[in-house]
Amino acid sequence: MAGVPFNRRKNMRALGYAMEVSKSTVHRWLQLKEIRRHSNAIKPLLSEEGQAAQRASKNRPAGTMKVKPIPNITREVMLSMLLTKVLPAIKEKWPGSSRNVIIQQDNAKPHVDGSDLQFLQAATEGEWNIKLKFQPLNSPDLNVLDLGFFRAIDSLQDQSGPRSLDDLISAVTTAFEELSHEKLNNVFLTLQGVMSQVLATNGGNQFKIPHIGKTKLARQGTLPQNLGVSIEVFQKAHTLVPSENTNAKHVGERNKNPKIDPERKSLATGKSLAKK
């Protein structure tokens, strides 16, 4: 196994394929403790305290800037990242004349609330209207980053097998640059398909991610720019939307208890389900 490249043994399936054995064989080796698990999770934010290395080593020559991670990710750290990195980048690169922007984030505790005064001040400077929203509960498929972008980037950077912060930064940067415009467009079309499925299931999430054969349609020149829903689905979903004069309890009764897939709920809450 030592002869298998690091980037080809990131999981049991990949290791089994590289060694030409079944996944169950690798699992048996693991149970017999003939091999052991190894985690290469490197997911830090970087601090501004990087310093030039004073001595040369086998990993870097003297004078190379050392990358230091931020030890604790707090709300103050996240706010600073928004104010100094995210908002300036959006304002610099936002296409078109509209200045209405919605930033979606998951429900992690360190994340900044959209009503934060410092954020509101920075988000409205220069006639911008930037709002900060949390993703819907139990709905990871409505977060376009989790739905496609991060999966694609993770897949590409995992192939390089980074073993240090510098390797990770380089791998993620390269993976992002290698993402094609076509793939990014496909992710947004998939998001629209997910939204239509949410409407069709009365706000639930017990459905399969819709696939329309986007690569084939693009090759034929018939890939739609946007996906719609039928008038029946729209009218049915519209009856479930509360009006200003509708009692909230009555709306809840009309919602017919949308079915929530426990596996997708676990993805949204950060919990994993054990295989039966």
Query: pLDDT digit string (tens) for 183-225?
Result: 889 989 999 999 999 999 888 888 888 889 998 999 999 999 9
Residues 20, 5 share a domain: yes
Residues 125, 146 share a domain: no
pLDDT at 249: 44
Tens digits of residue pLDDT in 230-252: 899 999 988 888 764 444 444 34
Residues 144, 122 share a domain: no
Helix (H/G/I), strand (E/B), else coil: 52: strand
58 assigned to some structural domain: no
Residues 126, 85 share a domain: yes
Residues 224, 207 share a domain: yes
Q: What are phi and psi of 103, to 5 degrees?
A: -100, 120
How many domains, the chain? 3
- Going from the C-alpha of 119 to that of each of 80, 82, 97, 111, the distances in angstroms are 9, 8, 22, 12
Residue 49 structure tokens? 């305290």
97 assigned to some structural domain: yes
228 assigned to some structural domain: yes
The confidence band for 124, taking pLDDT boundaries of 50, 70 and 90, is very high
- Going from the C-alpha of 97 to that of each of 4, 100, 212, 231, the distances in angstroms are 52, 9, 32, 32
Residues 192, 115 share a domain: no
Rounded Cα–Cα distance for residues 1 and 49 (Å): 39
pLDDT at 247: 45
Residues 121, 212 share a domain: no
Residues 78, 126 share a domain: yes
- 270 pLDDT exceeds 60? no
Give the pLDDT mean for 82-87: 93
Of 134, 168, 183, which residue constitutes the final position of a domain?
134
Residues 182, 154 share a domain: yes
pLDDT at 78: 92
pTM of the model: 0.58
Select the more confidently predicted residue: 157 or 100: 100
251 assigned to some structural domain: no
Rounded Cα–Cα distance for residues 197 and 189 (Å): 13
Residues 154, 121 share a domain: no
Q: Where are the beta strands (DSSP E) in the chain?
A: 100-105, 129-134
Rounded Cα–Cα distance for residues 147 and 141 (Å): 5
54 assigned to some structural domain: no
Of 92, 119, 134, which residue constitutes the final position of a domain?
134
pLDDT at 209: 87
What is the residue range of 23's domain? 1-38
Select the more confidently predicted residue: 166 or 27: 27
Residue 112 structure tokens? 């900044």
Rounded Cα–Cα distance for residues 69 and 43 (Å): 9
How many C-beta neighbours within 10 Å does residue 204 have? 19
Rounded Cα–Cα distance for residues 177 and 187 (Å): 16
Of 134, 157, 178, which residue constitutes the final position of a domain?
134
Tens digits of residue pLDDT in 146-177: 787 777 677 666 666 677 777 777 877 887 78
pLDDT at 123: 94
Burial, 207: exposed, middle or buried (Cβ in 10 Å; 0-12, 13-18, 19+)? middle
Taken in order 13, 42, 111, 99, the sign of the CA dihedral is: negative
98 assigned to some structural domain: yes
To the nearest 10°, the Cα dihedral for 71, 72, 76, 77?
50
pLDDT at 262: 52
170 assigned to some structural domain: yes
Burial, 157: exposed, middle or buried (Cβ in 10 Å; 0-12, 13-18, 19+)? buried
pLDDT at 125: 93
Residues 231, 156 share a domain: yes
268 assigned to some structural domain: no
Q: Which of 46-55, 75-84, 115-124, 247-256 is predicted with the least confidence, judged by mean pLDDT?
A: 247-256
Residues 127, 169 share a domain: no
